[in-house]
Structure 1
């Protein structure tokens, strides 16, 4: 009970977004397994499944999980991290399909959302007698390492969602393309090189924090993809890049 309350207090202060929905009996199962030196994997899987079924993103679930081990002063075993992600992924696969502009694994916008933002960019350029393919480009990031296991995909997406959010201003147009690939709409300005550098640093940092460096391409593959002349062709490009 004491461990659970310490965990809750710290996670609500630093990680958890909605304090009222944090507790579930799966929390008790995990703390009991941890204090009894039993296998953590079954309890971690159950907790991940519960988090996924209630709409908690994988990044928030992993952050909350890490807080428990901060409280006890140790690192979460990779086996338990994998079990948590597998449970979360299983819940997602069993959930009803709903249209959304947010990718649940990474917490980033979807390709459809980025297509809308591209339409705004092309429209603004046209109104100012500019060309979007001159003023903007797509910054593409590929961290795939060829393993499509659901838990690995979820952990990788969570790390990338956090890295991109940390490297770029809130609301910056971007999207998860699937399969470890991501696209960001960027201006062709003096700071483009700095954006690439910040992004690479954030990817490496978050991979280290989540102890999943082996799940990401190291170093990440990052390149500039020129925009086509029209919005329709830009949408076709995104569809081609989608995995």
Structure 2
């Protein structure tokens, strides 16, 4: 009877099977899939904006950042950008390519800058960052009319023991930070040294003495009260006259 048919429950809707990504569109199919699930998720907002006829630029920028964060090569990002545009029968515009490249590059450079600033073993600045900061100080000095070698000096500490561990170098950095007031930067200099750009004021000799006292001595016969050989060599280097010489100056000291 009709009433019995109306009483029957409606059929339960089943979820569609997830699509499997393919690299090329199959013949006769109207919808092109992107090259992989992760990239598809990144470019989906861009694809939706293209289908809706809205401005795709913000989505291209976001896709560039996301792919850079995932360490996807720029060439691969551009390939998937092209695939996304071809889904709607278009080729990527110059503006979309430029925005994606700019976003990808800025994100990558930010990561590289952060990586090059800190030595992960010691927590100190890296040698490249020391060179960069030194160059910046030369520019500031020239702009403000003062002479950098008269106002700053490089203090270097090197453990006497061969192949010092990261914790030893980190402790040296902490000692330098305590002995000197407001150092410009404290960095790992090559494999076995720590260097700091500090102010060359009237108390420099006093600060160097404090640092040497903090570092102490290795007792020759195992007795802590007996003076022996220094744990660490500490000395200062006058900065080069010209900024152009600063890179080679730092490199030479890093090689020891």
Q: TM-score range by the shorter chain?
A: 0.3 to 0.5
Q: Which has the higher contact order (CA 8 A, sep 6+)?
A: 1
Please give the TM-score of this superposition, normalised by the length of structure 2: 0.46
Q: Which has the larger radius of gyration?
A: 2
More helix by share: 1
